Amino acid sequence: MTVTPIAQVPVAEKLTAPAAAKKTLTSPWASLAAFVIAVFWTVPTAGLLISSFRPEHDVKTTGWWHIFTHPSFTFENYRTVFSGTGETGLFPFIVNSIAITVPAVIIPIFLATMAAYAFAWMRFPGKDLLFIMIFALQIVPIQVTLVPLLNLYVKLGLQGQDAPAGGFYSLWLSHTMFALPLAIFLLHNFMREIPGELIESARMDGATHVQIFLRVIFPLMMPAMAAFGILQFLWVWNDLLVALVFGGFKIYPINAQLAALAGTRGSDWHLLASGAFVSLIIPLIVFLSLQRFFVRGLLAGSVKG
Amino acid sequence: MSTGEKLLQALIVVAIFFAVVTLILTLTSRVRSRAGELIQSMAFVLPAVGLVGVGLLYPAINSINLSLKDKYSTKYVGFDNYKTIFTDADLLRVLGNTALWVVVTPIVATLIGLIYAVLTDHARFERTAKAIIFLPMAISLVGASLIWKFVYDDRIGLLNAFTDTVGLGRHHWLINSPWNNIWLIVILIWVQAGFAMTVLSASIKAIPTDIIEAAKLDGVGGLKMFRFITVPSIRPTLIVVLTTITITTLKAFDIVRQTTGGNYKTSVLSYEYYRQSFQSANWGLGSALAVLIFVLVLPVVIYNIRQMRKLEAR
Amino acid sequence: MRVGKIRRGAATVAALASAALVVAGCGSSDDENGTAGGTSPGEGKAECAQLTSYGDLTGREVHVYTGIVEPEDKAQKDSYKLFTECTGATVNYEGSKDFEAQVVVRARGGNAPDIAYVPQPGLLKTLVQTKAVKPAPQAVADNVDKWFGEDWKSYGTVDGTFYAAPLGANVKSFVWYSPKMFKANGWTVPTTWADLIKLSDEAAAKGIKPWCAGFESGEATGWPGTDWLEDMVLRTAGPDVYTKWLNHEIPFNDPQIATALDRAGSILKNPKYVNGGIGDVKSIATTAFQEGGLPILDGKCAFHRQASFYAANWPEGTKVTADGDVFAFYLPGDDASSKPVLGGGEFVAAFNDKPETQAFQTFLSSDTWANEKAKATPDGGWVSANKGLDVNNLTSPIDKLSASILQDPNAVFRFDASDLMPAEVGSGSFWKQMVNWITGQDTKTTLDEIEKSWPTS
């Protein structure tokens, strides 16, 4: 049997099942249903976007749709968000977010791919049990881990301002730990789709596992890794809990800083609204520009049933 | 640290990571003895297993231990904390709410994701249409809760403006139980449907054409095609999506925390854990609630493992 | 374990890699007897007299963790300048909205800051139980004995050991109102409960709902309700019953407490009285406490019972004076002769005994700092129970009023009961049940439920 890299599974142009299903469904009802869902998904966000441009008093007293009947725009909220964060502005916190996110995405994905490879194509005792355990550990709520991990980091000297890299290690480590179970589970699903013959024949030719992993598997898994990378990026970027517990205030990500910005007890909706959009921009750009890889990556692992 | 230094540190840690991994892989791949495969496989899995063991397994065991102790973690009280959960009226309601969340969220989110994926497949604005549904995934749960405040708020909320206009009157959406639970669940569905849609859409596109051709020849079409061809073909993917969303639902506490603070009979297990441990400083009861979360997911885990076994067997 | 080694190895390598970049931290090790040695930069200056004994602290940092965030944090930071001048040490200020939960996690996790500003004695007790809090040094105890009343010292004391000196304070027994509205209607500030109700009825007769309130406060939703009940207990049952009640010497659901809650209900649950400019009775539960009083500015509400710190919640440009847009009067009791005052405050807990930490504790408990802080707070919204605070240093009229009430020898001050009760009640069932109460639950069930949740041990 010849081997086709699955990353290139051709997308049938004419005759996909849903397309056929749709043809009969294509009544105005089907389009209407899709349209209704799309509207339902957009309107709330649009409300927030509009609110972020409305003056404080308006935001707090009237609904955002009043802007269409009583137009009043202001950039004041954004100005406050950018200037009102102490002497430094928001920029350092965006940098912190990047410094936290980049390693916290790359490292767990690479580790997970390695582990997924071993679980799929290597033989060692206790393999099934280990895999089940890792899968099951997805369920541990992060809150449970906070105190034990903090104790550990303090003992290892990874916590606080005097720690190496200003305390970033505890954040990188935590995000890596929390990401691994789901990453291994999902990537293992993709990994198993790679035809076994590919690995068998390479083994026959005397290739080591490391060689197979780096030369054969890695390129094939690239799209799937990118797909999971996007999800992991979104989770780390939007995380608040881990940052608050393990991050010192000098390395807070933008999300934590924006949360603090909203006043002592947090009812400055106008500032929160603009803040939410500021922190949304980068993930949005990342997703939109990588959307192509995302779909392709998921396609690579698509299950043949 | 300056901006440059922070980014440099991020690059350094990635470089160190790859240097160490390369070193380990190179060293172990040299072993050609019988133990070679074992040593190599350990080099592949142990880093991940070790991290998961330290970061998740150890805290989980620690929680089980704490759940058997009193609120200051000073003496063992047996199963008293669990007894409290199953006898206290408020906590029983928390269990009921959690059950509602876990049943409704994954099913509805997956269903909407699936329907939308089918409806927009090869539509004219497919990419835009899909980006719209995915967008909420890119928003933090804190941001999402804020977005929905502008929907559910008594005075400035969209929902009240709508119901008022169509003659249904104004309501306290977040106060009136038990419906308020549904309104909160809607938020999580809104966030998760994008995940379901994207994964399922990819899976749908990969259904082999010959299956469809064959079905067509047999005169299968429309809804039947959806029911008998599309859904069975993507069944494994559906299970993965349902599982992932179920687990996310059980762990999500931000929505309840940001919207109702667990008031008006809306608390769920994950939020109650947070409240009991960090707010009321009752670590025994809090940990028991956390342990209950593990226990609840066990059936899901077992089901998945059996599915995987079945696939493997084929 | 292999992994551990790799990781630790990685950390070490990173440490080496960044060694050149790391700023030299604290170097000296002669920290015995609570001094760093050397000559203090403040030597010879009168205002630094208390701090010179800690030696030269130049280059050291004190990490302060608190729930006081923007915009109030600026005045805090500004008030530490003198400390840096006197000792050479700098203060690293970290404010977080999630302070209450996070500080417990950090203390339990062994990662406590040097100093935390604890807003509730109940939370202080929880922190002391983690064994992370250090008793206050003698210099601080002396300062507190000198400048604060005995009751304030007792709030910072757990099981007979004095840990935390008071920092700021607030007066909760205030009713916010619009002086303009009063003038227009020919009203005068009421001095008895009966007068207050008479004004409320008058306003209601004119078609405006006289009272507005908001209980929503995120995870702490319901606390404004506890303040209402506490103020009513002080007025209907008196300060002595209040103290017995908070110490659980009488049950939480004692008939006297039920009377007080019904008194609160006579306003809060009266659909003719609430919720001015916002909605019906239930809307109190979902209205953010910060927004609860805002309808006063639009003339849609006449009274809003809330603490002195509410001053910070009025929009920019609002004149907070006795003849301005809004001001507050003392919430009257049945007669004008007794004057119970409900209030709250923060306390300074230290997690180590390094000289810079103790120096900062000493500084904060002194009259010097109280006056520095007053001067650093031009917009108002801050007072202290420190008797050395010169009222003239306070700039805003509402702060002056608060300070004069706090220092009034005839006023009977009582600390916020919910802050003193065990955490399960004070920051648990009490909040939750007040929310249930305002959304329809009757008084008896409410108090019975809270009584049931009182910890037995």
- The tokens for A166 are 């200003």
- Closest residue in B to A11 (Cα–Cα): B205
Token pair for B113: 């994701």
User: C37 and C28 in contact (C-beta within 8 Å)?
Assistant: yes
Question: Which of B276, C109, C100, B287 shows the shortest CA–CA distance to A149?
Answer: C109
Q: Which two tokens stand for residue B27?
A: 């060293």
Residue B278 located in a structural domain: yes
Q: Do B97 and B202 belong together in one domain?
A: yes
CB–CB contact B6 A168 (8 Å): yes
Say if A108 falls within a structural domain. Answer: yes
Percent of chain B at pLDDT > 70 equals 99
Domain identity same for B220 and B300: yes
Q: Does C95 touch chain A (CB under 8 A)?
A: yes
Nearest to A164 among C14, C67, C106 (CB): C14
Q: Tell me the pairing of strands C340-350 and C412-415.
A: parallel
Contact B244, B137 (CB under 8 A): no
Query: How far apart are the C-alpha atoms of B40 and B27, rounded to whole Å?
Result: 9
Whole-complex ipTM: 0.86
User: Between C231 and A75, whose confidence is greater?
Assistant: C231
Residue of C4, C13, C101 lying closest to B278 (CB–CB): C101
How far B94 CA lies from chain A's nearest CA (Å)? 17
Q: Do C109 and A155 touch (CB under 8 A)?
A: no
Query: By the 8 A CB rule, do A90 and A257 touch?
Result: yes
| Confidence at residue A266, expressed as pLDDT on a 0 to 100 scale | 53
pLDDT at A301 over 80: no
What is the model's pLDDT at position B51? 95
Q: What total of structural domains would you count in chain A?
A: 1
Q: For residue B144, give the DSSP letter.
A: H
Contact yes or no for B263 and C222 at CB 8 A? yes
- Mutation for testing the C interface, residue in A250, A252, A264 having most C CBs under 10 Å: A264
Could C69 and A147 be called an inter-chain contact, meaning their C-beta atoms sit closer than 8 Å?
Answer: no
Q: Tell me the domains of chain C and their CATH numbers.
A: 48-171+344-407 (3.40.190.10), 174-343+419-453 (3.40.190.10)
A115 occurs within a structural domain: yes
Cβ within 8 Å, pair B235-A165:
no
Which of C11, C94, C102 is opposite residue A245, by nearest beta carbon? C102
- Cβ distance of B279 and C10 shorter than 8 Å: no
pLDDT tens column, B254-264? 888 888 888 89
B207 and chain A: CB distance < 8 Å anywhere? yes
Q: Starting at the edge strand that comes first in sequence, how are the strands of the sheet with C327-330 ordered?
A: C304-305, C174-177, C327-330
CB contact under 8 A, A302 and B206: yes
pLDDT at C88: 92
The answer to whether the Cβ–Cβ distance between B51 and A111 falls below 8 Å is: yes
Instruction: Tell me how far apart the alpha carbons of residues C367 and C350 are, in angstroms, rounded to a whole number.
Output: 19
Interchain contact, C108 vs A162, CB within 8 Å: no
If asked whether residues B220 and B306 sit together in one domain, one would say: yes
Q: What is the pLDDT of residue C33?
A: 61
Given this model, what pLDDT does residue C372 score?
Answer: 93
Residue pair C391/C407 in contact (Cβ under 8 Å)? The answer is yes
* Closest residue to A265, CB basis, from C7, C22, C290: C290
Residue A192 lies in a domain: yes
Q: Are residues B15 and B93 in the same domain?
A: no
Please write the tens of the pLDDT for every residue from B88-123. 888 999 999 999 999 999 999 999 999 999 888 777
Whether pLDDT at A30 is above 90: no
Which of the residue ranges A187-196, A245-254, C5-14 would you say has the lowest mean pLDDT? C5-14
**Of A110, A103, A86, A76, the residue nearest A217 (C-alpha):** A110
CA distance C194 to C211: 15
CATH number at residue B203: 1.10.3720.10
Both B242 and B135 in one domain: the answer is yes
Is the CB of residue B302 less than 8 Å away from at least one CB of chain C? no
pLDDT 10s digits, A147-180: 889 888 988 888 876 778 878 999 999 999 999 9
Check whether residue B20 and residue B125 sit in a common domain.
no
pLDDT for A297: 67
Residue C219 forms contact with A (CB below 8 Å): no
Q: Give me the pLDDT at residue A261, please.
A: 66
- Name the residue with higher pLDDT: C69 or B38: B38
Largest CA distance in chain C: 81
A134 contact C CB<8A: no
Q: Does C105 touch chain A (CB under 8 A)?
A: yes
B77 three-state secondary structure: coil
Distance CA A247, CA A149 (A): 13
B264 three-class SS: coil
User: What per-residue confidence (pLDDT) applies to C342?
Assistant: 95
The answer to whether position B72 is within a domain reads: no
Residues A112-161: tens digit of each pLDDT: 999 999 998 888 888 888 998 898 888 888 888 988 898 889 888 888 76
Query: Is residue B135 located within the same domain as residue B44?
Result: no
Say how many CA atoms lie within 13 Å of C336 toward its Cβ.
7
Question: Across the interface, do B29 and A302 touch by the CB < 8 Å criterion?
Answer: no
Q: What is the per-residue pLDDT for C454?
A: 92
Is C6 an 8 Å CB contact of chain A? no
Cβ contact B281–C104 (<8 Å): yes
Give me the pLDDT at residue A262, please.
59
Interface touch A260/C96, C-beta < 8 Å: yes
Q: Phi, psi (5° rounding) for residue C168? A: -95, 175
Compute the nearest-CA separation of A180 from chain B (Å). Answer: 7
Residue C13: predicted pLDDT: 42
Nearest-Cα residue of chain C relative to residue B176: C439
Q: Does residue B113 lie in a domain region?
A: yes
Q: Which residues in chain C come in under a pLDDT of 70?
A: 1-33, 457
- Rounded to an integer, the average pLDDT of A195-210 is 86
State yes or no: pLDDT of A12 exceeds 70. no
CB contact under 8 A, C10 and B263: no
With respect to residue A82, please indicate whether it lies within any of the assigned structural domains.
Answer: no
Same domain, yes or no: B190 and B117: yes
pLDDT score for A104: 96
CA–CA separation, B196 and B116 (whole Å): 10
C224 versus A269: the higher-pLDDT residue is: C224
* pLDDT score recorded for residue A215: 87
Does any CB of chain C come closer than 8 Å to the CB of residue A153?
A: yes
Residue B65 domain-assigned (yes or no)? no
Could you list the residue range(s) of the whole structural domain that residue A150 is in? 89-300
Average pLDDT for chain A: 80
Which of C105, C219, C282 lies closest to B172 in CB terms? Answer: C282
Domain membership of residue A167 (yes or no) is yes
User: Could you tell me if residue B56 is inside a domain?
Assistant: no
Structural domain range at position B210: 80-313
B88 and B15 in a common domain: no
Question: Residue C391 corresponds to which tokens in the numbers above?
Answer: 């009222």
- Tell me the longest C-alpha to C-alpha distance in chain B: 80
CB contact burial B163-197 (16+ within 10 A = b; e otherwise): eeeeeeebbbbbbeeeebbebbbbbbbbbbbbbbb
Q: Is residue C161 packed enough to be buried (19+ CB in 10 Å), middle (13-18) or exposed (0-12)?
A: exposed
Query: From CA C171, how far away is CA B156, in angstroms rounded?
Result: 32
> Longest C-alpha distance within chain A, in Å?
75
Instruction: Find out whether A288 and A203 touch, Cβ atoms under 8 Å.
Output: no
The mean pLDDT of chain B is 88
* Per-residue pLDDT at A303 exceeds 70: no
Determine contact, residues A261/C70, Cβ cutoff 8 Å: yes
Domain tally, chain B = 2
Inform me whether the pLDDT recorded for B174 exceeds 80: yes
Q: Residue A18 pLDDT more than 60?
A: no
Chain C CB contacts of A114 under 8 Å are none
User: Residue C31's pLDDT is what?
Assistant: 52
Q: How far is B87 from chain A (nearest CA, A)?
A: 23
CA distance C56 to C49: 13
- Look at residue B253 and tell me if it is in a domain: yes
In this prediction, residue C5 carries a pLDDT of 37
Count residue pairs from B and C with Cβ separation < 8 A. 95
B60 within some domain: no
CA distance B152 to chain A (A): 10
pLDDT at A13 over 70: no
Contact A150 C71 (CB under 8 A): no
Three-state secondary structure string covering chain A:
CCCCCHHHCCCCCCCCHHHHHHHHHCCHHHHHHHHHHHHHHHHHHHHHHHHCCCCHHHHHHCCHHHHHCCCCCCCHHHHHHHHCCCCCCCHHHHHHHHHHHHHHHHHHHHHHHHHHHHHHHCCCCCHHHHHHHHHHHHHCCHHHHHHHHHHHHHHHCCCCCCCHHHHHHHHHHHHHHHHHHHHHHHHHHHHCCCCHHHHHHHHHCCCCHHHHHHHHHHHHHHHHHHHHHHHHHHHHHHCCHHHHHHCCHHHCCHHHHHHHHCCCCCCCHHHHHHHHHHHHHHHHHHHHHHHHHHHHHHHHCCCCC
On whether both B99 and B213 belong to a single domain, the answer is yes
Residues B135 and B280 in one domain: yes
Comparison of pLDDT for A174 and B153, the residue scoring more: A174
Examine residue B20 and state whether it is found in any structural domain, yes or no. yes
Q: Report the residue from C18, C286, C427 with minimal CB separation from B279.
A: C427
Distance CA B67, CA B73 (A): 9
> Does A280 contact B116 at a Cβ distance shorter than 8 Å?
no
Domain CATH number, residue A216:
1.10.3720.10
Q: What is the pLDDT of residue A304?
A: 40
In chain A, which residue's Cα lies nearest the Cα of B45? A115
Do residues B164 and B267 both lie within one domain? yes
Q: Could A155 and C97 be called an inter-chain contact, meaning their C-beta atoms sit closer than 8 Å?
A: no
